[in-house]
Structure 1
Amino acid sequence: MPQSLSQNYVHLVFSTKERQAFLQDLNLRHQMHAYLVGACKNLESPALVVGGVEDHVHLLLQLGRTKALADLVRDIKKESTKWIRQEAPRLSDFHWQHGYGAFSVSYSMISKVEDYIRNQAEHHQRTSFQDEYRKLLEKSGLQWDERYVWD
């Protein structure tokens, strides 16, 4: 077959280093989300939606056909860290956590995941990031070690 086709949707989640509330400023947070949309597009893995709260982000993206997920995440974090340090010099110590969670999303579940990501602020009025993340890991059948998840 001469044509290579791919359609892989990924729900990507990562937090700020030690879950510091770097993104408290709502305007800056929205700018970061918009920047992440642009970064994903430039990295040939367009984001359908980006959301989050002051200490973490969620992205629903379509993984590019030639992209390795780990490389994509590395590049997204690198570019957005550089951007926020330039945009908000007071956040010169901004870092994302080293790790991330990536969860496959079936085409039929896209709208549900989009809604979930759009409603992060409301969701986190009753649920911590750590509890949310544990639930995502459990739901996906992943095993993890608490000692290494929270950096």
Structure 2
Amino acid sequence: MPQSLVKNYIHIVFSTKYRNDFIDEKIEKELYSYIAVLCKDFESTALQIGGTDNHIHILCRLSQKIALMKLIQEIKAHSSKWIKTKDEKYENFFWQNGYGAFSVGEKDIYTVKNYIKNQRQHHQTQNFKNEMIEILEKHNMEYDEKYLWD
């Protein structure tokens, strides 16, 4: 085949360090817009970004030119530096080291977009730990819970 044809949709989830509540409603829209620009800069168009005070979800179409790990590393590094410039209350902001990333089929894009869009509402009845375990189990991922939260 003389050309590369790639279409990978990825649902990315990561939290603030120690799941501290930093991403308040005052900063979230600007943060999500900034992350969308970062995704675009790495040719990985963001379809939906959302979250709560202590974590975010990103649905993007991963570029064929960049490794997923590199995309997440760049998003975390640049957005962490950026948010610290916004207000003194964000000067101790950090992202947690790890992340979750899950493939999404074309037919599930709409469902995942809505799920991400409604994160604040969703988390009125479920905390992040339970949500993450539910996502891991949905994707049949093996994990050791003692390594999920430290």
Q: Shorter-chain-normalised TM-score: which range? A: over 0.9
CA distance in 2, matches of 1:145, 1:91: 31
Cα RMSD for the two superposed structures: 0.8
| TM-fit CA distance, 1:11 | 0.3
Q: What is the percentage of aligned positions where both structures have the same residue? A: 44
> What residue in structure 2 maps to residue 74 of structure 1?
73
TM-score (norm: length of structure 1): 0.96
**Counterpart of 2:5?**
5
Query: Would you say how many aligned residue pairs link Structure 1 and Structure 2?
Result: 150
Q: 2:114 matched to 1:115?
A: yes
After TM superposition, the structure 1 = structure 2 runs for residues 72-111 of structure 1, keeping only pairs within 5 Å, are 72-111=71-110
Q: 1:145 maps to which residue? A: 144
Matches within 5 A, 1:39-54: 39-54=38-53
Query: Are 1:124 and 2:123 an aligned pair?
Result: yes
Distance in 2 separating the partners of 1:39 and 1:88: 21
TM-score by length of 2: 0.97
| d(CA) in 2 for partners of 1:66, 1:88 | 34
* TM-superposed deviation, 1:64: 0.3
1:19-42 deviation per Cα after TM superposition (whole angstroms, max 9, x unaligned): 000112x12011111111111001
Q: Does 1:60 align with 2:59?
A: yes
| Structure 1: unaligned runs, 5 residues or longer | none
1:91: how far off?
1.2
